[in-house]
Structure 1
Amino acid sequence: MTRRPQALPLDATLYEAARIMRDEGIGDVLVTLGGRLCGLVTDRDIVVRGVAERRDASHTPLGEVCSADLVTVGPDDDLDTAARLMRDQAIRRLPVVDAERRPLGIVSIGDLARADGMGPGVLAGICQAPPNF
Protein backbone atom coordinates (compact mmCIF):
# COMPACT_ATOMS: atom_id res chain seq x y z
CA MET A 1 0.00 0.00 0.00
CA THR A 2 1.13 3.51 -0.73
CA ARG A 3 0.84 5.39 2.55
CA ARG A 4 -0.12 9.05 2.82
CA PRO A 5 -1.56 9.29 -0.69
CA GLN A 6 -1.83 12.62 -2.42
CA ALA A 7 -5.27 14.17 -1.98
CA LEU A 8 -6.99 17.36 -3.04
CA PRO A 9 -10.37 18.84 -2.14
CA LEU A 10 -13.33 18.39 -4.46
CA ASP A 11 -13.12 22.00 -5.65
CA ALA A 12 -9.41 21.86 -6.59
CA THR A 13 -8.72 22.12 -10.31
CA LEU A 14 -7.55 19.66 -12.92
CA TYR A 15 -4.40 21.74 -13.22
CA GLU A 16 -3.60 21.29 -9.52
CA ALA A 17 -4.08 17.52 -9.77
CA ALA A 18 -1.96 17.30 -12.92
CA ARG A 19 0.89 19.21 -11.26
CA ILE A 20 0.85 16.89 -8.24
CA MET A 21 0.86 13.86 -10.52
CA ARG A 22 3.83 15.24 -12.45
CA ASP A 23 5.78 16.34 -9.39
CA GLU A 24 5.19 13.09 -7.46
CA GLY A 25 5.45 10.71 -10.43
CA ILE A 26 2.00 9.26 -9.77
CA GLY A 27 -1.11 8.59 -11.86
CA ASP A 28 -3.88 9.35 -9.39
CA VAL A 29 -4.98 11.77 -6.68
CA LEU A 30 -7.66 11.12 -4.11
CA VAL A 31 -10.48 13.65 -3.97
CA THR A 32 -11.85 14.67 -0.58
CA LEU A 33 -14.68 16.66 0.91
CA GLY A 34 -14.14 17.72 4.50
CA GLY A 35 -11.17 15.35 4.72
CA ARG A 36 -13.24 12.33 3.71
CA LEU A 37 -12.78 10.40 0.49
CA CYS A 38 -15.38 11.24 -2.14
CA GLY A 39 -13.58 10.48 -5.38
CA LEU A 40 -10.45 9.61 -7.29
CA VAL A 41 -9.02 11.33 -10.34
CA THR A 42 -6.47 9.69 -12.63
CA ASP A 43 -4.24 11.03 -15.35
CA ARG A 44 -6.59 9.30 -17.80
CA ASP A 45 -9.61 11.10 -16.29
CA ILE A 46 -7.87 14.43 -16.87
CA VAL A 47 -7.22 13.56 -20.51
CA VAL A 48 -10.49 11.84 -21.41
CA ARG A 49 -12.98 13.82 -19.31
CA GLY A 50 -11.07 17.09 -19.27
CA VAL A 51 -8.75 17.81 -22.18
CA ALA A 52 -10.68 15.81 -24.80
CA GLU A 53 -13.85 17.69 -23.83
CA ARG A 54 -12.02 21.03 -24.10
CA ARG A 55 -12.42 21.86 -20.42
CA ASP A 56 -10.23 24.61 -19.00
CA ALA A 57 -7.84 22.78 -16.66
CA SER A 58 -7.26 25.93 -14.62
CA HIS A 59 -10.95 26.34 -13.83
CA THR A 60 -12.50 22.85 -13.97
CA PRO A 61 -12.99 21.40 -10.49
CA LEU A 62 -12.06 17.79 -9.84
CA GLY A 63 -15.67 17.11 -8.90
CA GLU A 64 -16.62 17.39 -12.57
CA VAL A 65 -14.28 14.64 -13.80
CA CYS A 66 -13.39 12.34 -10.90
CA SER A 67 -14.79 8.89 -10.34
CA ALA A 68 -17.10 9.06 -7.33
CA ASP A 69 -18.49 5.53 -7.03
CA LEU A 70 -15.42 4.04 -5.38
CA VAL A 71 -14.70 0.59 -4.06
CA THR A 72 -12.54 0.83 -0.92
CA VAL A 73 -10.97 -1.37 1.72
CA GLY A 74 -10.22 -0.79 5.37
CA PRO A 75 -6.81 -0.92 7.04
CA ASP A 76 -7.50 -4.40 8.45
CA ASP A 77 -8.53 -5.99 5.15
CA ASP A 78 -6.01 -8.49 3.80
CA LEU A 79 -4.31 -8.71 0.43
CA ASP A 80 -6.62 -11.47 -0.77
CA THR A 81 -9.61 -9.19 -0.20
CA ALA A 82 -7.94 -6.35 -2.09
CA ALA A 83 -6.96 -8.62 -4.98
CA ARG A 84 -10.46 -10.11 -5.21
CA LEU A 85 -12.10 -6.66 -5.25
CA MET A 86 -9.69 -5.37 -7.87
CA ARG A 87 -10.32 -8.42 -10.05
CA ASP A 88 -14.10 -8.50 -9.60
CA GLN A 89 -14.54 -4.75 -10.09
CA ALA A 90 -11.86 -4.47 -12.83
CA ILE A 91 -10.05 -1.65 -11.03
CA ARG A 92 -6.35 -0.83 -10.82
CA ARG A 93 -6.36 1.27 -7.66
CA LEU A 94 -8.09 0.61 -4.36
CA PRO A 95 -8.24 3.38 -1.75
CA VAL A 96 -7.73 2.36 1.87
CA VAL A 97 -9.93 4.35 4.25
CA ASP A 98 -10.70 4.35 7.95
CA ALA A 99 -14.19 4.05 9.46
CA GLU A 100 -14.88 7.76 8.77
CA ARG A 101 -13.70 7.40 5.12
CA ARG A 102 -10.51 9.38 5.74
CA PRO A 103 -7.89 8.21 3.24
CA LEU A 104 -5.01 6.18 4.64
CA GLY A 105 -3.46 4.82 1.46
CA ILE A 106 -3.93 3.25 -1.93
CA VAL A 107 -3.36 -0.35 -3.01
CA SER A 108 -2.36 -0.65 -6.67
CA ILE A 109 -1.80 -3.57 -9.00
CA GLY A 110 1.91 -2.93 -8.56
CA ASP A 111 1.57 -3.28 -4.80
CA LEU A 112 -0.13 -6.65 -5.29
CA ALA A 113 2.58 -7.82 -7.68
CA ARG A 114 5.35 -6.90 -5.25
CA ALA A 115 3.53 -8.40 -2.24
CA ASP A 116 2.91 -11.61 -4.15
CA GLY A 117 6.65 -12.11 -4.35
CA MET A 118 6.66 -12.00 -8.12
CA GLY A 119 10.33 -12.44 -8.82
CA PRO A 120 11.84 -11.39 -12.13
CA GLY A 121 8.48 -11.55 -13.89
CA VAL A 122 7.34 -8.95 -16.40
CA LEU A 123 4.61 -7.40 -14.22
CA ALA A 124 6.90 -7.05 -11.20
CA GLY A 125 9.56 -5.42 -13.36
CA ILE A 126 7.12 -2.95 -14.86
CA CYS A 127 5.70 -2.09 -11.45
CA GLN A 128 9.14 -1.40 -10.00
CA ALA A 129 10.39 0.69 -12.93
CA PRO A 130 10.78 4.43 -12.30
CA PRO A 131 8.47 6.84 -14.16
CA ASN A 132 9.63 7.57 -17.69
CA PHE A 133 8.90 11.26 -17.98
Structure 2
Amino acid sequence: MADVVRDVMTPGVVAVRPDASLVEAAQLMRAQGIGDVLVADEAGLVGVLTDRDITVRAVADGADPLTVSAEAVCTPRPVAVGPDDPVSAAVTLMREHSVRRLPVVENGRAVGMVSLGDLGDRSPGPARRTARTAQKDPFVQGS
Protein backbone atom coordinates (compact mmCIF):
# COMPACT_ATOMS: atom_id res chain seq x y z
CA MET A 1 0.00 0.00 0.00
CA ALA A 2 1.26 3.46 -0.90
CA ASP A 3 2.22 5.69 1.99
CA VAL A 4 3.09 8.99 0.28
CA VAL A 5 1.54 11.01 -2.52
CA ARG A 6 4.55 10.42 -4.80
CA ASP A 7 3.59 6.73 -4.93
CA VAL A 8 0.09 7.37 -6.29
CA MET A 9 0.26 10.67 -8.15
CA THR A 10 0.29 11.04 -11.91
CA PRO A 11 3.73 12.54 -12.58
CA GLY A 12 4.25 15.57 -14.80
CA VAL A 13 1.78 18.35 -15.43
CA VAL A 14 -0.16 19.86 -18.27
CA ALA A 15 -0.56 23.61 -17.90
CA VAL A 16 -1.61 26.71 -19.77
CA ARG A 17 -0.67 30.36 -19.34
CA PRO A 18 -3.17 32.52 -17.43
CA ASP A 19 -3.97 34.44 -20.63
CA ALA A 20 -4.65 31.30 -22.69
CA SER A 21 -8.17 31.19 -24.08
CA LEU A 22 -10.64 28.58 -22.92
CA VAL A 23 -10.52 27.13 -26.43
CA GLU A 24 -6.75 26.62 -26.10
CA ALA A 25 -7.22 24.95 -22.72
CA ALA A 26 -10.04 22.71 -23.98
CA GLN A 27 -8.02 21.68 -27.03
CA LEU A 28 -5.08 20.77 -24.80
CA MET A 29 -7.36 18.73 -22.54
CA ARG A 30 -8.74 16.89 -25.56
CA ALA A 31 -5.28 16.24 -27.00
CA GLN A 32 -4.02 14.88 -23.67
CA GLY A 33 -7.21 12.97 -22.84
CA ILE A 34 -7.62 14.75 -19.50
CA GLY A 35 -10.28 16.80 -17.74
CA ASP A 36 -8.14 19.50 -16.17
CA VAL A 37 -5.06 21.64 -16.67
CA LEU A 38 -3.06 23.78 -14.34
CA VAL A 39 -2.95 27.50 -14.95
CA ALA A 40 0.60 28.68 -14.36
CA ASP A 41 3.01 31.48 -15.04
CA GLU A 42 6.72 32.02 -14.39
CA ALA A 43 6.03 32.59 -10.70
CA GLY A 44 4.20 29.29 -10.28
CA LEU A 45 0.74 27.86 -9.94
CA VAL A 46 -2.12 30.31 -10.49
CA GLY A 47 -5.06 27.90 -10.50
CA VAL A 48 -6.69 24.73 -11.75
CA LEU A 49 -9.04 24.73 -14.74
CA THR A 50 -11.39 21.80 -15.32
CA ASP A 51 -13.63 20.94 -18.23
CA ARG A 52 -16.53 21.53 -15.84
CA ASP A 53 -15.22 25.03 -15.04
CA ILE A 54 -15.27 25.86 -18.74
CA THR A 55 -18.81 24.54 -19.12
CA VAL A 56 -20.40 25.92 -15.95
CA ARG A 57 -18.48 29.16 -15.40
CA ALA A 58 -18.18 30.31 -18.99
CA VAL A 59 -20.20 28.55 -21.68
CA ALA A 60 -23.37 28.29 -19.57
CA ASP A 61 -23.21 32.06 -19.03
CA GLY A 62 -22.81 32.71 -22.76
CA ALA A 63 -19.17 33.78 -22.52
CA ASP A 64 -17.05 33.55 -25.66
CA PRO A 65 -14.48 30.78 -25.07
CA LEU A 66 -12.20 32.39 -27.66
CA THR A 67 -11.87 35.59 -25.65
CA VAL A 68 -12.23 34.47 -22.02
CA SER A 69 -8.94 33.61 -20.33
CA ALA A 70 -8.13 30.48 -18.35
CA GLU A 71 -7.32 32.66 -15.35
CA ALA A 72 -10.80 34.24 -15.41
CA VAL A 73 -12.53 30.87 -15.06
CA CYS A 74 -10.09 28.69 -13.12
CA THR A 75 -10.21 27.93 -9.43
CA PRO A 76 -7.56 30.29 -8.05
CA ARG A 77 -5.06 29.39 -5.34
CA PRO A 78 -5.93 25.69 -5.32
CA VAL A 79 -5.21 23.57 -2.29
CA ALA A 80 -2.18 21.38 -3.02
CA VAL A 81 -0.10 18.60 -1.50
CA GLY A 82 3.58 17.77 -1.58
CA PRO A 83 4.94 14.56 -3.09
CA ASP A 84 6.21 13.39 0.30
CA ASP A 85 2.95 14.14 2.13
CA PRO A 86 1.06 11.11 3.42
CA VAL A 87 -1.69 9.81 1.16
CA SER A 88 -4.03 10.27 4.10
CA ALA A 89 -3.32 14.03 3.99
CA ALA A 90 -4.42 14.14 0.33
CA VAL A 91 -7.61 12.26 1.19
CA THR A 92 -8.33 14.64 4.06
CA LEU A 93 -7.78 17.74 1.87
CA MET A 94 -10.03 16.36 -0.86
CA ARG A 95 -12.79 15.74 1.67
CA GLU A 96 -12.41 19.09 3.45
CA HIS A 97 -12.38 21.10 0.21
CA SER A 98 -14.76 18.89 -1.81
CA VAL A 99 -12.30 18.48 -4.69
CA ARG A 100 -11.44 15.47 -6.82
CA ARG A 101 -7.96 16.53 -7.89
CA LEU A 102 -4.98 18.11 -6.14
CA PRO A 103 -1.86 19.57 -7.70
CA VAL A 104 1.31 18.10 -6.26
CA VAL A 105 3.80 20.90 -5.62
CA GLU A 106 7.47 20.59 -4.68
CA ASN A 107 9.72 23.59 -4.08
CA GLY A 108 7.06 25.90 -5.50
CA ARG A 109 6.70 23.97 -8.76
CA ALA A 110 3.92 21.61 -9.82
CA VAL A 111 5.31 18.11 -10.34
CA GLY A 112 2.11 16.11 -10.75
CA MET A 113 -1.53 15.64 -9.93
CA VAL A 114 -3.31 13.28 -7.59
CA SER A 115 -6.95 12.43 -8.18
CA LEU A 116 -9.61 10.34 -6.52
CA GLY A 117 -8.91 7.70 -9.16
CA ASP A 118 -5.23 7.68 -8.25
CA LEU A 119 -6.11 7.19 -4.59
CA GLY A 120 -8.54 4.41 -5.43
CA ASP A 121 -5.91 2.62 -7.50
CA ARG A 122 -3.15 2.89 -4.86
CA SER A 123 -0.61 1.31 -7.23
CA PRO A 124 2.77 3.00 -7.84
CA GLY A 125 2.47 6.10 -10.01
CA PRO A 126 5.24 5.64 -12.62
CA ALA A 127 3.78 2.34 -13.85
CA ARG A 128 0.42 3.96 -14.56
CA ARG A 129 -0.74 6.23 -17.35
CA THR A 130 1.57 9.05 -18.34
CA ALA A 131 -0.79 11.33 -20.29
CA ARG A 132 0.14 14.20 -17.98
CA THR A 133 3.84 13.92 -18.70
CA ALA A 134 4.89 17.22 -20.18
CA GLN A 135 6.21 17.27 -23.73
CA LYS A 136 8.19 20.52 -23.83
CA ASP A 137 8.62 22.36 -20.58
CA PRO A 138 7.91 20.18 -17.52
CA PHE A 139 5.84 22.99 -16.01
CA VAL A 140 4.04 25.09 -18.60
CA GLN A 141 2.40 23.52 -21.65
CA GLY A 142 0.67 25.41 -24.38
CA SER A 143 2.96 28.40 -24.03
Q: TM-score, structure 1 length as denominator?
A: 0.82
**Residue 10 of structure 1, CA deviation:** 0.6
What stretches of structure 1 of length at least 5 have no aligned partner? 117-127, 129-133
Q: Deviations over 1:69-127 (max 9, x none)?
A: 31101121121111111112111001001122x111110000000007xxxxxxxxxxx
1:17 maps onto 2:25 in alignment: yes
CA contact 2:38–2:47 (8 Å) conserved in 1: yes
Percent identity (aligned): 47
1:69 maps onto 2:77 in alignment: yes
**Residue 23 of structure 1, CA deviation:** 1.1
**Residue 2 of structure 1, CA deviation:** 1.2
Give, as a single letter, the amino acid of the residue that structure 1 aligns with 2:42.
Answer: G
**Residue 39 of structure 1, CA deviation:** 0.2
**Residue 35 of structure 1, CA deviation:** 5.1
Give, as a single letter, the amino acid of the residue that structure 1 aligns with 2:102.
Answer: L
Q: Partner of 2:91 in structure 1?
A: 83
What stretches of structure 2 of length at least 5 have no aligned partner? 1-8, 124-128, 130-143
1:1-133 equivalent positions in 2, closer than 5 A: 1-34=9-42, 36-100=44-108, 102-115=109-122
- Runs of 4+ with deviation above 4 angstroms: none
CA RMSD of aligned residues (A): 1.5
Higher helix share: 1
Greater relative contact order structure (CA < 8 Å, 6+ sep): 2
